[in-house]
Amino acid sequence: MPDESEDDSGLTKNDPDETWESPETEPREVPEHEAPATEDRPGESLRPATAETRTGEAPVPPADDADGTTPPGAATAPGAPAHGGGETGIDDDEEWTEPPDDEELPLAVHIEEMVKRLAVVMFVAAIVTSVAFPFAQEFITTIWYSVHPGTVTECPGASECAPPHVYGPLELKLAELKLASLAGIVLALPVFVYETYLFMRPGLYPQERRYYLAAVPTSLVLAIVGVSFAYYLVLPALFTYFLYYSEQTADIAFALQDTFNLILMMMGMLAVVFQIPLFIMLAIMMGITTRRWLAGRRLYFWGAFLGIAFLFSPDPTGMAPILVAGTMVVLFEGTLLLLRWVGR
C-alpha cells in the first residue's frame, strides 16, 4: 500500500515522488444574475448581485441629513412615515397637503347646515333689534340734528335747521324699526363671519382657520369705524350740500322716512365698505390672490367700486356715490400700500 498522507488543504499525497492532486469538486449552480451571456440571453452579461436582484424589491436609500428625512424623489420603505414627524408622519410646521377634516358630504347636507348657520345670524340680529327698538326714537332725534347744520338747542324755530316732517301715521315707527334693524345688522356681522367660518372649517387648512378666527373681532371693529365715519363725516357733508342747493329755491321740509332711508343706507353701506381691508387680507393670507395681482388690476376695481356706489346709493345728485366710491378706493389702495410696506 503506498503511503498516503493528507494535509490541511485537503490535497492527497500518494507518494513523495508524485505530484499533488486536487480532489474532485462538485459543480456549483450559478445564480441567474451571475450567469454569463448565452445564446438564449445574448444581451445579458455578468453583473454583481444587488439588493434588488436578491430580494426583488427596490432598495431604500439612506437618509441624507441628520433629521432622518429622505432625499427628494427617493422611495420610501413600506410602513415608514412619509415625513419626519414620527408616527403621524407630519411635523408641526409642515404644510398640509389637504384639509385635515375635509369630508365629502351630499349637497343636501351642506344646504341644511348653511340654513342653520344663517338662522343663528338672523336670530342674533332679531334679538339686538328688539332690544334697540324701545330706544330708537331717542336715537332718531340725536342722529337727525347731528347730521343737519345747527345744534339741538338751535333747531326749534331756527331757520338754519330742518326739523323732521312726518307725512304718514306709520312713518315714525317705520323709521324706528329701520334704525333698530341697522343696529341688529351691525352687531350680527361678526356672528355672520363666525358662522361662515364654522361652515367652511372642514375645508380650511389650520393656518386658514387662525386667520378666519382673527377676522371676527376685526370685522366688528371695522363695522363700527364705518358707521362712525358715515355719522361724523359723510352725512354732515351730504346734508350741508343738500341744504346749500335747496334753500335758494324752496322751503326745506325734509320727510322723516325718506331722509332716514338715506341716513341708514349710508351707515349700513359704509359699515360693509370698511370690510374691504379685511377681505383683501384674508384673500392674500389664504393664497387666493396676491398683492401684485390686485395692484395690476386696480383700474378694474376702481370701476367696480364706482358702479357699486352708484347702484346702491339713494342719491340722484351723485354726491353720495362719489363719496362712497372715493372711500372704497382709499381703503383699497391703503390696504395695498400697507401690504407692500410689510413685505406681503
Residue type, 271: A
What is the mean predicted confidence (pLDDT) over 230-255?
A: 79
User: CA of 244: how far to CAs of 175, 220, 231, 239, 261, in Å?
Assistant: 25, 35, 19, 8, 20
E strand or H helix that includes residue 244: helix 235-246
Q: Is the pLDDT of residue 227 over 60?
A: yes
Please write the tens of the pLDDT for every residue from 36-91.
555 455 544 445 555 444 455 555 554 444 444 444 444 444 444 444 444 444 44
What is the mean predicted confidence (pLDDT) over 317-331?
A: 89
Residue predicted with more confidence, 160 or 166: 166
Q: Check: CB of residue 17 under 8 Å from CB of residue 5.
A: no
pLDDT of res. 152:
44
Q: What does the alpha-carbon distance between residue 6 and residue 23 come to, in Å, rounded to a whole number?
A: 11
What is the mean predicted confidence (pLDDT) over 162-172?
A: 79
Q: Is the pLDDT of residue 313 over 80?
A: no
pTM equals: 0.59
* Residue 301, burial from CB neighbour count under 10 angstroms (0-12, 13-18, 19+): middle
Indicate the pLDDT class of residue 131, thresholds 50, 70 and 90.
very high
Please write the tens of the pLDDT for every residue from 95-119.
555 555 556 767 787 788 889 989 9
Domain residue extents for the chain: 107-274
Q: Is the pLDDT of residue 92 over 50?
A: no
Please write the tens of the pLDDT for every residue from 202-216.
777 777 778 777 877
Indicate the pLDDT class of residue 15, thresholds 50, 70 and 90.
low
